[in-house]
């Protein structure tokens, strides 16, 4: 499903969302785990995804990043983007999602979650809008409310950002802000 095929029902659901939790590996990256000769982790983040995340923040959305792994590189990237709400090393994502809801006083029905694999489902199933990249695990795709046309780490987060902005009637305004 591409941006052109966003249904009125999906846009209405997106309009209810005020916060979103993103997974890292497989969502903000392509999911591959790279190591150099010294054992240092290397990840590739897509610049368009980053701009979409900034667009959400600029328009008042609460953004949280939740990952089961720990990575200094992830901290550096989130700092670059201005994302302060980073939860690393949280293998039980369902429990972590509940903590995030409580900590930020969020309503689950107004919070989206974007994940790509089975480990994300305990959090996704609690969210008001369940999102995944187009190359997510097939079971996750079947149970998500929306699977992007883009793959993880290759524009999927940007597509979701644009969906949420469109749901709130802000997409054109955000795009025009770059003229």
Output 66 or 2, whichever has higher pLDDT. Answer: 66
8 A C-beta contact, residue 99 and residue 70: no
For the chain, percent helix, then strand, then coil, each to nearest 5? 45, 15, 40
67-122 pLDDT tens trace:
999 999 999 999 999 999 999 999 999 999 999 999 999 999 999 999 999 999 99
β-strand pairing of 86-87 with 62-66: parallel
Which residues are 112's β-sheet partners?
A: 20, 129
* pTM assigned to the model: 0.94
Name the E strands within the chain. 19-22, 34-35, 41-42, 62-66, 86-87, 111-114, 129-132, 146-147
108-129 pLDDT tens trace:
999 999 999 999 999 999 999 9
7-38 pLDDT tens trace:
999 999 999 999 999 999 999 999 998 888 99
User: Is residue 5 over pLDDT 80?
Assistant: no
- The per-residue pLDDT for 3 is 53
DSSP-assigned letter for residue 82: T
Question: Can you read off the two tokens belonging to residue 132?
Answer: 């995944």
């Amino acid at each position: 499903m591409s941006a052109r095929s966003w249904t009125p029902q999906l846009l209405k659901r997106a309009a209810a969302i005020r916060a979103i939790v993103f997974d890292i590996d497989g969502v903000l990256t392509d999911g591959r785990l790279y190591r150099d000769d010294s054992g240092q982790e290397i990840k590739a983040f897509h610049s368009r995804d980053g701009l979409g995340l900034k667009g959400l923040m600029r328009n008042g959305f609460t953004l949280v990043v939740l990952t089961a792994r720990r990575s200094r590189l992830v901290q550096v990237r989130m700092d670059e983007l201005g994302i302060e709400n980073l939860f690393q090393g949280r293998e039980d994502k369902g429990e972590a999602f509940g903590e995030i809801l409580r900590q930020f006083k969020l309503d689950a029905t107004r919070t989206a979650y974007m994940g790509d694999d089975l480990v994300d489902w305990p959090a996704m199933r609690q969210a008001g809008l369940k999102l995944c990249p187009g190359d997510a695990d097939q079971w996750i795709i079947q149970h998500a409310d929306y699977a992007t046309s883009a793959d993880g780490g290759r524009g999927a987060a940007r597509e979701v950002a644009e969906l949420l902005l469109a749901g709130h009637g802000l997409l054109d305004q955000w795009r025009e802000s770059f003229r």
